[in-house]
Amino acid sequence: MSEIKAKLKDFICSTLGVEEDVLEYDTELFGDGPIGLDSVDSLEIISFVDGEYGVEMTGVGKEHFVNIDAIAQYIDENK
């Protein structure tokens, strides 16, 4: 699962413009935190996960998008 987390982090930093040194696997991605991703970013993450792992996350609950750990766990359980 560490490979999934590393790929997610790489995508979030390179495509969504998040600085690598402020993003840990348990850092909150959305809301008023330091990262502050929005709904457009979530669609990009869903697209990346679908393309990379064939896992459909459209309509999946917010709790699975809280941080990289949560997204990776959902991918691991559903791929």
Partner 1 sequence: MMFINEINDKIGQRPPFQMIDRVEELIPNESAVGIKCVSVNEPHFMGHFPGTPIMPGVLIIEACAQLCSLVIECDKTDDKLYVLLKVDGFKFVKPVIPGDVLTISVKKTRAGGTIFGFDAEVKVGDRVHAKGSVLFTAIDRASVYER
Which residues of the chain form contacts with partner 1 (CB under 8 A)? 40, 43-44, 46-52, 56-58
Residue number with CB closer to partner 1 (24 or 58): 58
Alpha-carbon separation of residue 44 from 22, 58, 59 (angstroms): 20, 11, 14
Residue number with CB closer to partner 1 (14 or 24): 14
**Closest distance of CB 46 from partner 1, Å:** 4
**Closest distance of CB 65 from partner 1, Å:** 13
**Closest distance of CB 36 from partner 1, Å:** 16
